[in-house]
Amino acid sequence: MSGAALDALNREIAGCRACPRLVEWREEVAREKRAAFRDWTYWGRPVPGFGDPDAELYVVGLAPAAHGGNRTGRAFTGDRSGDWVYGALHRAGYANRAESVARDDGLRLTGAWIGAVVRCAPPNNRPERGERAACLPFLRRELALLPRARVVVALGAYAHDALCDLAGLRPRPRFGHLAEAALGDGRTLLDSYHPSQRNTFTGKLTQDMFDAVFARARELAAAG
């Protein structure tokens, strides 16, 4: 039942045109493309969630990358942040392979689901407040359709804040790498620095630090 409901939600997400600025941007990027991907047919739509409907772990990012998820149609697929995400999920036993390059590349997740706060690629990777508000119902519904996901990993402060707002946490718990907070519904929020190039190139986030997040997620899921 949850799988069919998640499929229906994903179709709804992929067809959304609620935010004119985001619609214009994602479609412009899909038309103009990047030279390295000129032979690709870009997805150019909102990017739905991906993974195992029986997930124990829910990973939440900020938004698709213009030439990553907006090109491939799958979360964290086709960009360097995705290399980090799927590499870590593979090492933690949640993914059957360590890279994700296309929707049909054979990648499968077991025990994990990936979503985002905002489902369209935003200009300069900065969604506006109204765009976040328009997309949050998708996040809320996705969470409700993943009842076994007792651990929610927030990739970055933006995802942390959105998840805290959905849970009605006031004041918000402070964001920090490997920080934990109760979301009030039996779920645990576990924070990670976002695997953006800014963080990985500067060493703010290392592979060992990122692996520690998913090792802790395994511990929390087993205990819950």
pLDDT along the chain (224 residues), means of 10: 91 98 98 97 98 98 98 97 98 97 97 98 97 98 97 98 97 98 96 98 98 98 90
Q: Alpha-carbon distance 83 to 178, whole Å?
A: 20
How many angstroms separate the CA atoms of 140 and 137, rounded?
A: 5
Q: How many domains does the chain have?
A: 1
Instruction: Identify the three-state secondary structure at position 153.
Output: strand
pLDDT at residue 1, as a whole number = 52
φ, ψ for residue 50, nearest 5 deg: -150, 135
Q: What CATH number does the domain containing 33 carry?
A: 3.40.470.10
Distance CA 92, CA 212 (A): 9
The residues with which 181 forms a beta bridge, in sequence order, are 189
Instruction: Determine the pLDDT at residue 224.
Output: 73
Domain housing 138: 2-223
Distance CA 8, CA 3 (A): 9
